[in-house]
Structure 1
Amino acid sequence: MPRRIVRFPEVFPRRARALTLACAAAALTFQLSGCAVGPNYQRPSAAVPASFKEAPEGWKVAQPSDQTDRGAWWTIYNDAQLNALQDQLNAQNQTVAQFAAAYRQARALVGEARAAYFPVIGASASATRSRTPTRVSNTSGNFANGTISNNFNLGLDATWEPDLWGKVSRTVGAQEAGQQGAAADLANARLSAQATLAQTYFALRSLDTQQKLLDDTVAAYQRSLQLTQNQYAQGVAGRADVIQAQTQLQSAQAAAIDNGVARAQDEHAIAVLVGQPASTFSIPPSPLTATPPVVPVSMPSALLERRPDIASAERKAAAANEQIGVAMSAFFPSLTISASGGFESSVLSQLLSMPSRFWTLGPSLAGTIFDAGLRSAQTEAARAAYDQQVAAYRQSVLAAFQDVEDNLASQRILAQEVVVQQQAVESAQHALAIVTNEYKAGTISFLNVLVAQTTAFVAEQKLASIDGQRMVSSVGLVKALGGGWDVTQMGRETGDMAAPAPLQRPGTQTGQSGAGATGKVSTFTSDAAATSSARAQSAVPE
């Protein structure tokens, strides 16, 4: 009897070969995943001076212990009204709210980009019932007949494009840099709004001081008019003296009224900053009594780590650099691994049985052969965009140093000017007292009194203006130095309008700047003794 050989279907060898092919493709994918085309990012260099030119001799330099983030920098002015307004701004300013939303959007885009690292898995289920017509012939004629069939399908499919050339990692890097840049933009919006509020507030207080001066001047001119009228009644003075005194009084009254226009505008601006309607917002008048506190100044190299606008520009350059790699990855083919499987049967009760199974698995490779220079143009555009961001970063660094130098010069010059102006006020007041006594004695004309009164008023008005300018400039210097911000806060942003809670890090040092120099970080002292010193002492840098 011949030997009978039974051959079984080669199901298992086929599955083994498919599994081996899938494993080999996966292994090759993971080996190539570490290859990311495009230039690696390096922080652009920027010109950093060794010291600030406008800082006067003996100016207080920030110490390592000053690196600690003080958070609410405006508290150094010891003004409860200003503190309350800043709290409202941090909760209700709509410009800051816009940047907070932009940060949350940038954070979501990072998650969107990271999703490309993983496969896309889908599921499907279907049930159909169909009729297929047939023709049946018999002796009576042709009659239509049909076949009714059912089809049930339940399946899963997965598609994955491995990151062979670093397109996904470059995209994720660009979005992460964009998120950090958005965090710096948010911090810069906060700082700008806070500084604008503080400067507007001190300008308003300066106007209150000038209003008090104008009111006092009006009262003094009224007394002078009364004196002239008495002199005229006694026949000592002429009618012209009375008219001149009356004219001077009316001019002072008009100036006092006009001062209210600027104050109202500042008050309305503050209302917008704190997120309130100008129609329902008011600030009670109070003359300016504060003097600029001592602001330690860091080394110039530390400024690159302390200003959010510089950090934002640097992060935009980093994002543009990653886009170069994204554009270059288009020159290489893309690999897609697809898999699908499930159950399909014409009988619902047999759908989940083993004979109803089906599956497919395999890779596909696709690449562009000809695109008429499209990819080259896209790469060149990405490089040009990076160069643009580098130039913007360097420009922001230059503008930052200009900002610091401007405010240092303003603080130094105004500190000298206020001492001289105080002396001028004292001299003018002394001269006015002498001239008034001489006029009462009838030895001089009223014209001399008018000149002395005008000189004294102008001197006092100038002194009040300088006091306001010094406070505005002080806030400008704090803002120019970063307001206590540093780059570590980019990673602690939450997307809220309020800034993240400050971290206490005493004794630590900053990292190197773009020029490779390590500097001390600036912050601001709230020593009450510094703010309560006499005018002449506070005018001189420490």
Structure 2
Amino acid sequence: MNMKISHTALAATLALLLGGCMVGPDYHRPQVPVSTQYKPLPGWSEAAPAAEAPKGDWWTVFNDPLLNQLEPMVAVSNQTVRQSYANYQEALAEVQVARSALFPTIGVTGSATKQRTAKSSSTSGNFRPISTSGSLEGNVSWAPDLWGKVRRTLEENKATAQASQATLANATLSEQVALATAVIELRVNDADTDLLQKTVDEYKEYLRVVSNQGVAGTTPPSDVILARTQLESAQSSLIALGVARAQYVHAIAVLVGKNPEDLDIAHSTGLPALPTVPVGVPSSLLQRRPDIAVAERQMAAQNAAIGVAVAAYYPNITLSAADGFSQSPLAGLLHLANHVWSLGANVDETVFDFGQRHGEVAAAKAAYDASVANYRNSVLTGFQNVEDDLSGLSILSQQAQVQDALVHDATQGAQIAFNEYQAGTVDYTTAATAQATQLSAQQSALSVQQQRLLDTVSLIGDLGGGWSADELDDSKKTASAR
């Protein structure tokens, strides 16, 4: 009867303890100032939002077969991404460890002992017969979370795991952007190679004409030398492009997790398409940029850490119970007469620590304040990145129009100058200068196109790619995506 009453009292006590409070502040995301729109620039307007596009495989908007082939490999084979994925899995395991502290620890203990003892001096013989004793006992130990320390720790670890998940997304996006950048630079290198090869062919023809006129005595030897050095300079620049191309290919190989010598990329004759990217409203960055999500989740974790530190002011209570059998000799161990049980409780409280707990709470609050500043700075930096990209695209769009006109005029001017040279109305220096101007204008136009493509990739990355904060804490989706 007494044991039944004790079990009932224990159940009631456990129910009461389960309803314990949580010390420390509850988390609320701090407000940050957000503009209603990005700053418009004269003569250029943003594309209208299209359901927060691009999403998912954002690189397909460039219509480049190499990008479409290699980008999916980043999430699987890139070593930086694999490292972040392992860190995320570690953080998930820490959540499991923290959650286990909410529940009792249950164990089973069994023992068996053979012993032989000496008889007393008044008894004949030296030893008693060998006896065997044993016990089988189940035990339960539980520290109820009265003040919410375990729950705050769990809250902290879950936020840390979500930050690791967002870090994984950010690493994936960063490496994908790096791959797109490398592919664009490779494509521009190939386009520059084609341009220089065409220039070399033209300069060879110019040298042939000048050499023939030199043999005929209608042009001075200095013109022949000038035409030859012009050709050799172009040939040297053409050869130098091979070094940069090899480095781009090697970088691309590493980004997709391959050895540099294992990847060959054929020469391309075209550049990726220049897409129009909808940017949405500034507030969408708070949900779409994984680096901002990292800062926000770190802020939540630091807030929970304050509660963990505050809980150290309160006593720790541990409940224990044991139930089993004990018998000597061992025979009949499981008989009801050998049943034993026990209930216990332990209270642990620090009386004086000379400011240790106060210091830990102050440190946790300071760490939280630092995380708030880091979050707000991440948001401001995100806005800056997007504004930089939009400004660059706007200005480069205007520059491209002027540069195209310059290329047209420089090409026409070079042809006229060479015709005039052949007619004997100008010297070859004038024609060579016009040809150099044409090549410079063509390379500048190519550089502007390259920068427009790079700024577009940067804009997509700064908008968060196809990621959304709604994906946080969805480990199944993360695993399936990999």
Does the alignment reach a TM-score above 0.5?
A: yes
Following superposition, the deviation at residue 119 of structure 1 comes to: 0.4
Seen in structure 2, the aligned counterparts of structure 1 residues 69 and 232 have a Cα distance that, compared at 3 Å, is: closer
Distance in 2, matches of 1:425 and 1:483, equals 34
Instruction: Indicate the residue corresponding to 1:97 in structure 2.
Output: 82
What's the TM-score once normalised by structure 2's chain length?
0.96
Instruction: Indicate the residue corresponding to 1:467 in structure 2.
Output: 449
State the SS of the aligned residue for 2:31. coil
**Could you list the per-position Cα deviations for residues 24-57 of structure 1 after superposition, in whole angstroms to 9, with x for gaps in the alignment?**
42233133x2x10000111022232232225556
Seen in structure 2, the aligned counterparts of structure 1 residues 494 and 98 have a Cα distance that, compared at 3 Å, is: farther
Q: What amino acid is aligned across from residue 384 of structure 1 in structure 2? A: A
Instruction: Indicate the residue corresponding to 2:114 in structure 1.
Output: 129
**Could you list the per-position Cα deviations for residues 504-531 of structure 1 after superposition, in whole angstroms to 9, with x for gaps in the alignment?**
xxxxxxxxxxxxxxxxxxxxxxxxxxxx
**Could you list the per-position Cα deviations for residues 392-448 of structure 1 after superposition, in whole angstroms to 9, with x for gaps in the alignment?**
111111111111011111111111111101100111111111111111111111111
Q: Percent identity?
A: 42
**Could you list the per-position Cα deviations for residues 298-347 of structure 1 after superposition, in whole angstroms to 9, with x for gaps in the alignment?**
11111111101001110000011001101111101112111001001113
Instruction: Indicate the residue corresponding to 1:59 in structure 2.
Output: 45
Instruction: Indicate the residue corresponding to 1:48 in structure 2.
Output: 34
State the SS of the aligned residue for 2:140. strand
Following superposition, the deviation at residue 68 of structure 1 comes to: 6.7
Worse-matched range after superposition: 472-481 or 379-388: 379-388
State the SS of the aligned residue for 2:117. strand
Q: What amino acid is aligned across from residue 395 of structure 2 in structure 1? A: I
Seen in structure 2, the aligned counterparts of structure 1 residues 356 and 56 have a Cα distance that, compared at 3 Å, is: farther
Worse-matched range after superposition: 279-288 or 455-464: 279-288
Seen in structure 2, the aligned counterparts of structure 1 residues 496 and 29 have a Cα distance that, compared at 3 Å, is: closer
When the two chains are superposed, the root-mean-square deviation of aligned CA atoms in Å is 1.9
State the SS of the aligned residue for 1:66. coil
The answer to whether residue 180 in structure 2 is matched with residue 198 in structure 1 is yes
Contact 1:291/1:467, CA 8 A, preserved across alignment: no
Choose from 45, 56, 67 the match for 1:71. 56
**Could you list the per-position Cα deviations for residues 189-227 of structure 1 after superposition, in whole angstroms to 9, with x for gaps in the alignment?**
111111111111011111111111111111111111101
Seen in structure 2, the aligned counterparts of structure 1 residues 472 and 108 have a Cα distance that, compared at 3 Å, is: same
Following superposition, the deviation at residue 15 of structure 1 comes to: 2.1
Seen in structure 2, the aligned counterparts of structure 1 residues 56 and 293 have a Cα distance that, compared at 3 Å, is: farther
Q: What amino acid is aligned across from residue 466 of structure 1 in structure 2? A: V
Instruction: Indicate the residue corresponding to 2:17 in structure 1.
Output: 29
Q: What amino acid is aligned across from residue 21 of structure 1 in structure 2? A: A
Following superposition, the deviation at residue 145 of structure 1 comes to: 4.0
Choose from 144, 155, 174 the match for 2:156. 174
Choose from 60, 70, 73 the match for 1:88. 73
The answer to whether residue 330 in structure 2 is matched with residue 348 in structure 1 is yes
Q: Which runs of 4+ in 1 moved over 6 A?
A: none
Contact 1:408/1:477, CA 8 A, preserved across alignment: yes
Distance in 1, matches of 2:11 and 2:174, equals 56
Where does 1:187-266 land on structure 2 (aligned, <5 Å)? 187-266=169-248
Choose from 447, 452, 461 the match for 2:434. 452
Contact 1:432/1:453, CA 8 A, preserved across alignment: yes
Distance in 2, matches of 1:497 and 1:453, equals 57
Q: What amino acid is aligned across from residue 95 of structure 2 in structure 1? A: V
Worse-matched range after superposition: 229-238 or 125-134: 125-134
What's the TM-score once normalised by structure 1's chain length?
0.85
Where does 1:305-454 land on structure 2 (aligned, <5 Å)? 305-454=287-436
Following superposition, the deviation at residue 286 of structure 1 comes to: 1.0
Following superposition, the deviation at residue 258 of structure 1 comes to: 0.9
Following superposition, the deviation at residue 80 of structure 1 comes to: 1.5
Following superposition, the deviation at residue 137 of structure 1 comes to: 4.5
Q: Which consecutive unaligned segments of at least 5 residues does structure 2 have?
A: none
Worse-matched range after superposition: 375-384 or 454-463: 375-384
Q: What amino acid is aligned across from residue 364 of structure 1 in structure 2? A: N
Contact 2:54/2:465, CA 8 A, preserved across alignment: no
Contact 1:206/1:464, CA 8 A, preserved across alignment: yes
Distance in 1, matches of 2:157 and 2:225, equals 74
Worse-matched range after superposition: 319-328 or 342-351: 342-351
Following superposition, the deviation at residue 101 of structure 1 comes to: 1.2
Where does 1:6-21 land on structure 2 (aligned, <5 Å)? 12=1, 14-21=2-9
Q: What amino acid is aligned across from residue 402 of structure 2 in structure 1? A: V
Paired residues, number: 482
Seen in structure 2, the aligned counterparts of structure 1 residues 497 and 418 have a Cα distance that, compared at 3 Å, is: farther
Q: What amino acid is aligned across from residue 285 of structure 1 in structure 2? A: H
Larger relative contact order, structure 1 or 2 (CA cutoff 8 Å, min sep 6):
1
Distance in 2, matches of 1:30 and 1:189, equals 40
Contact 1:54/1:405, CA 8 A, preserved across alignment: no
Distance in 1, matches of 2:289 and 2:77, equals 23
Seen in structure 2, the aligned counterparts of structure 1 residues 452 and 497 have a Cα distance that, compared at 3 Å, is: farther
Contact 2:119/2:125, CA 8 A, preserved across alignment: no
Seen in structure 2, the aligned counterparts of structure 1 residues 301 and 264 have a Cα distance that, compared at 3 Å, is: same
